[in-house]
């Protein structure tokens, strides 16, 4: 017997994963949530049919949105994670003792409940006393926040679903306002490879570039995302991701990683020419 | 209203069964279910072009309905609590004009507020009736025209006992309602008809705790923009009659200007929307009200903006307020409404209904989701943070009382000459000038142009209002009477 899960990466390309069994399927107010068990990727979650994380490759996302800003900002105390209801990013951040509080804002309570139930070893990140989970719309949560956070991580990946509002100028503006004067925002920047995704990627950079004094893009290899190639955004009021990078200080923390290293930090910002070109085009008026 | 009956949708059902018959078309439209125009079929979808068919016996004919369209109209009348309903395919413009043409002939007087939609004055150009304007009170802070006060309507009736009808906006674009019940009593006592322009009021017939609808208030006719809050396709609309209006005469009036090839896409959308409204309207509009009230609260807590609501009600010129409307005063952050309107679109990818000199209007409807409301509120907060400025030098949208010198029809057809806007003061206008939206004329044919009006036109253009109505597409010249 063969059961296959397929996700369309474009209208003409799909990724198929052989499934052992389906662990959960449900519809929340916001989206359809499915959890599968597979040979190759372990357990994975699909929201409205798109894989958002798998046991096999979620460490790449989590490490890349966490350690890159943490190795640049000298003293992060207050962190806000938008999305991130699976707890993976929070878990990664908890390794840093300097962090005093982590606010996680997630719209969909069902998503959190499903993760707690099926991925307890990841969702344990949400149970730490330093972590507080808010079930709220990201934009709404941010509206009245002024200069409160050192680091904001937007962990939402889909610029077209119910999280569309988290890829807008008003969102980036709200993050700017909610960050302290040396704060950093890190966000999912999508994949630049296929034509269908390129526009969203361009538009994100155009908006962030105009909202923050420093705005750089970095990359990682993530097998389950379209084309396996994924970008992240680093937007900041003060610190530059390369010039202010402190590898020695970070190494001293002895944080255990599987993907991120101090060498990789530098390399992640060295982008292929076609990506550099499309980003530079969006920087022009 | 019988809910079982309202579950039917005769035009929709007829189209469904027609589709199954796979009839070979040797009639118009010539695209023949889209086969002759593959690009169009690709854009709109095969299902859609397949339903773009012509009138025929099984599908009835809008000009003289005897079967499914007649049934659909009867169901609509019942749903709206009216005696008769006409499905309209020329927009609410055609419904408003049919109302006026049905009650006015050349030389007749009609009492109306000056903040009417241009379609009403256009009807006067067509039929030669004379406007008697009731000058609405103005909220000088918000710069918007309000409703008609009863005392003003009474004065107009006393001074013009020969007028044949009174037209009422129910509500205005901004959501403001006059005391339409009292206006109906007053007008009927003097033998005048009452016409309700309900281009912004479809939901009043179905929502709970909303202002009274025209038909329920006793108005003789009402023009309903089904495509606005009712959910049907753009350009589809409805005309309602109360008891005592001759439906056959009204049908003749409608047929003077209505197409003989009415679109079944529009007709079926009216039919399905009427069914939705009858079956689920109350709960749908309860959600709309909830979203609008939430947005109002959130916008008011940003600071600088003023999203107004029932707090404006004063018993006379604002007798009631339609809380589904989200009108926001923006001068508090030093930006004209039209500037906020442009920023929302250009910088935030948010399209709102319109911006005028002092306000914006975001249209909240049955299709909205709370996350979109969050985006709108978030964007307004961001605009306040990034673009706020000092408000000195900002013009407030004052009401300029028109001086009607000759009838709109006479002015429209007179010999005219083109003069630069800035030199037009003192002349009589031969054409309309308006910002669109909202489409309420600043100047109408037959009105005296004043310095104040010239200043307003120049300012509105400068702020980026989209101006229309003049022969000159750039609105730099006006046609004035010789």
Domain map (residue ranges) of chain B: 61-261, 281-387, 408-481
Left, alpha or beta for A213 (phi > 0: left; psi -120 to 50: alpha)? alpha
Q: What is the CATH number of domain B281-387?
A: 3.90.1150.10
Q: Residue B394: what pLDDT? A: 75
Active-site entry in A155, A197, A244, A277: A155
Token couple for A58: 């979620």
Q: Count how many pairs of residues, chain A against chain B, have C-beta atoms within 8 Å.
A: 54
- Rounded alpha-carbon distances, angstroms, from residue A211 to A143, A165, A235, A261, B93: 16, 16, 9, 29, 44
Q: What is the pLDDT along chain A (285 residues), one digit of tens a residue?
A: 899 999 999 999 999 999 999 999 999 988 999 999 999 999 999 999 999 989 999 999 999 999 999 999 999 999 999 988 889 999 999 999 999 999 999 999 999 999 999 999 989 889 999 999 999 999 999 988 999 999 999 988 776 777 777 888 999 999 999 999 999 999 999 999 999 889 989 999 999 999 999 999 999 999 999 999 999 999 999 999 999 999 999 999 999 999 999 999 999 999 999 999 999 999 987
pLDDT grade, residue B434 (50/70/90)? confident
Q: What is the pLDDT of residues B165-222, one digit of tens each?
A: 999 999 999 999 999 999 999 999 999 999 999 999 999 999 999 999 999 999 999 9
Contact A139 B385 (CB under 8 A): no
**Taking the CB of residue A285, how many other CB atoms lie within 10 A of it?**
3
Task: With H, G, I as helix, E, B as strand and everything else as coil, classify residue B191.
Answer: coil
**Alpha helices by DSSP H, B105-179:** 118-127, 150-159
Q: Which of residues 267-306 of B touch A (CB under 8 A)?
A: 298, 301-302
Q: What is the pLDDT of residues B323-363, one digit of tens each?
A: 999 999 999 999 999 999 999 999 999 999 999 889 999 99
Check if the beta carbon of residue B14 is closer than 8 Å to that of residue B58.
yes
What's the whole-number average pLDDT of chain B? 93
- Considering chain A, what percentage of its residues have pLDDT values greater than 70? 99
Contact A174 B382 (CB under 8 A): yes
Q: What CA–CA distance (Å, rounded) separates B448 from B380?
A: 39
Q: What CA–CA distance (Å, rounded) separates B382 from B378?
A: 6
Token couple for B232: 């049907």
Q: Is the ipTM of this complex over 0.95?
A: no
Q: What CA–CA distance (Å, rounded) separates B345 from A161?
A: 20
Contact A139 B378 (CB under 8 A): yes
Is the minimum CB–CB distance between A187 and chain B shorter than 8 Å? Answer: no
Q: Cβ contacts of residue A237 below 8 Å, gap of 6+?
A: A176, A179, A180, A181, A182, A183, A184, A212, A213, A214
Q: What CA–CA distance (Å, rounded) separates A218 from A187?
A: 10
Check if the beta carbon of residue A206 is closer than 8 Å to that of residue A235.
no
Check if the beta carbon of residue B226 is closer than 8 Å to that of residue B237.
yes
Q: Give A-chain residues touching B369 at CB under 8 angstroms.
A: 162
Is the minimum CB–CB distance between B362 and chain A shorter than 8 Å? Answer: no
Q: Give A-chain residues touching B388 at CB under 8 angstroms.
A: none
Q: Give A-chain residues touching B386 at CB under 8 angstroms.
A: 173
Contact A165 B374 (CB under 8 A): yes
Residues B158-181 as b or e (16 or more Cβ within 10 Å = b): eebeebbbbbbbbbbbbbbbbbbe
CATH class of B61-261: alpha beta
**Alpha helices by DSSP H, chain A:** 58-70, 88-93, 109-118, 120-123, 138-142, 169-178, 195-211, 247-252, 262-268, 273-283
CA distance B375 to chain A (A): 6
Which domains are assigned to chain A? Answer: 3-54 (2.30.140.10), 58-283 (3.40.50.150)
**Is residue B420 scored above 80 in pLDDT?**
yes
Radius of gyration of chain A from Cα atoms?
A: 18
Strands B306-307, B325-329: pairing kind? antiparallel
**Is residue B397 scored above 70 in pLDDT?**
no
Determine the residue of chain A that is closest to B294 in CA distance: A140
Q: What is the pLDDT of residues A229-262, one digit of tens each?
A: 999 999 999 999 999 999 999 999 999 999 999 9
Q: Residue B398: what pLDDT? A: 64
Q: What is the pLDDT of residues B251-307, one digit of tens each?
A: 999 999 999 999 999 999 999 999 999 999 999 999 999 999 999 999 999 999 999
Q: Residue B400: what pLDDT? A: 76
**CATH label, B408-481, candidates 3.90.105.10, 3.40.50.300, 3.30.360.10, 3.30.565.10:** 3.90.105.10
Q: Which of residues 58-77 of A touch B (CB under 8 A)?
A: none
Q: Which of residues 141-160 of A touch B (CB under 8 A)?
A: 142-144
Decide if A244 is catalytic: no
Evaluate the CA torsion angle B93, B95, B99, B101 in order and state its sign: positive
Taking alpha carbons only, the member of B422, B91, B24 closest to residue B237 is: B91
Q: What is the pLDDT of residues B108-128, one digit of tens each?
A: 999 999 888 889 999 999 999
pLDDT (average), residues B404-423: 93
Q: Give B-chain residues touching A173 at CB under 8 angstroms.
A: 378, 381-382, 385-386
Token couple for B144: 């918007």
């Amino acid at each position: 017997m063969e059961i296959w899960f397929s996700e369309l990466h474009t209208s003409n390309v799909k990724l198929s994963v052989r499934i052992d069994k389906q662990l959960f399927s449900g519809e929340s107010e916001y989206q359809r949530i499915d959890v599968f068990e597979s040979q190759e990727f372990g357990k994975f979650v699909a929201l409205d049919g798109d894989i958002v994380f798998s046991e096999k490759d979620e460490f790449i996302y989590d490490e890349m949105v966490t350690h890159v800003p943490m190795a640049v900002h000298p003293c992060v105390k207050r962190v806000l994670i938008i999305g991130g209801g699976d707890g993976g990013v929070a878990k990664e951040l908890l390794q840093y003792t300097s962090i005093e509080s982590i606010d996680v804002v997630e719209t969909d309570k069902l998503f959190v409940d499903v993760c707690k139930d099926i991925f307890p070893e990841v969702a344990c990140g949400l149970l730490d006393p330093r972590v507080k989970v808010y079930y709220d719309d990201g934009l709404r949560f941010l509206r009245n926040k002024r200069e409160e956070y050192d680091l904001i991580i937007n962990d939402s990946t889909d610029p077209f679903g119910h999280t569309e509002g988290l890829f807008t100028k008003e969102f980036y503006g709200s993050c700017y306002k909610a960050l302290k004067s040396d704060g950093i925002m890190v966000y999912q920047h999508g994949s630049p490879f296929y034509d269908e995704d390129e526009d969203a990627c361009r538009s994100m950079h155009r908006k962030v570039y105009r909202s923050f004094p420093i705005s750089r893009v970095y990359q990682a290899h993530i097998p389950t995302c379209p084309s396996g190639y994924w970008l992240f955004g680093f937007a900041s009021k003060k610190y530059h991701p390369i010039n202010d990078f402190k590898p020695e200080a970070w190494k001293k923390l002895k944080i255990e990683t599987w993907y991120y290293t101090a060498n990789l930090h530098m390399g992640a910002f060295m982008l292929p020419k076609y990506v550099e070109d499309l980003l530079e085009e969006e920087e022009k008026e | 209203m019988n809910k079982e009956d309202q579950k039917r949708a005769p035009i929709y059902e007829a189209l469904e069964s027609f589709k199954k018959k796979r009839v070979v078309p040797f009639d118009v439209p010539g695209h023949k279910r889209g086969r002759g125009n593959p690009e169009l079929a690709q854009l709109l979808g095969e299902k859609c072009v397949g339903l773009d068919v012509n009138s025929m016996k099984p599908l009835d004919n809008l000009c003289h309905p005897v079967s499914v369209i007649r049934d659909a109209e009867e169901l609509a009348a019942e749903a709206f609590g009216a005696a008769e309903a006409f499905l309209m395919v020329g927009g609410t413009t055609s419904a408003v004009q049919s109302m006026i043409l049905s009650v006015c002939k050349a030389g007749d007087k009609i009492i109306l507020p000056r903040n009417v939609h241009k379609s009403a004055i256009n009807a006067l150009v067509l039929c030669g009736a004379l406007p008697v304007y009731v000058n609405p009170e103005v909220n000088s802070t918000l710069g918007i025209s309000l409703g008609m006060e009863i005392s003003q309507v009474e004065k107009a009736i006393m001074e013009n006992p020969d007028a044949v009808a009174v037209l009422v906006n129910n509500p205005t674009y901004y959501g403001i309602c006059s005391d339409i019940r009292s206006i109906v009593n007053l007008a009927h006592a003097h033998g005048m008809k009452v016409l309700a322009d309900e281009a912004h009021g479809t939901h009043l017939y179905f929502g709970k705790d909303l202002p009274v609808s025209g038909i329920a208030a006793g108005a003789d006719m009402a023009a309903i923009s089904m495509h606005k809050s009712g959910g049907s396709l753009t350009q589809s609309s409805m005309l309602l009659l109360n008891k005592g209006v001759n439906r056959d005469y009204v049908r003749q009036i409608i047929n003077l200007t209505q197409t003989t090839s009415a679109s079944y896409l529009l007709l079926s959308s009216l039919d399905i929307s009427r069914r939705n409204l009858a079956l689920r309207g109350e709960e749908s509009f309860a959600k709309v009200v909830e979203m609008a009230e939430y947005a109002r609260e959130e916008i008011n807590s940003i600071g600088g903006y003023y999203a107004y609501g029932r707090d404006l009600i004063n018993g006379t010129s604002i007798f009631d307020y339609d809380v589904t409307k989200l009108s926001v005063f923006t001068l508090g952050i030093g930006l004209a409404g039209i500037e906020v309107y442009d920023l929302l679109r250009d910088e935030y990818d948010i399209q709102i209904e319109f911006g005028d000199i002092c306000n914006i209007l975001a249209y909240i409807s049955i299709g909205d989701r709370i996350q979109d409301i969050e985006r709108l509120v978030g964007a307004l907060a961001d605009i306040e943070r990034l673009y706020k400025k000092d408000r000195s030098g900002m013009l407030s949208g004052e009401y300029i009382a028109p001086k009607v010198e000759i009838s709109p029809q006479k002015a429209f057809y007179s010999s005219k000459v083109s003069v630069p806007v800035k030199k037009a003061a003192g002349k009589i206008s031969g054409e309309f000038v308006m910002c669109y939206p909202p489409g309420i004329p600043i100047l109408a044919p037959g009105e005296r142009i004043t310095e104040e009006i010239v200043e307003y036109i120049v300012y509105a253009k400068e702020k980026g209002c989209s101006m229309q109505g003049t022969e000159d597409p750039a609105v730099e010249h006006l046609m004035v009477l010789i």
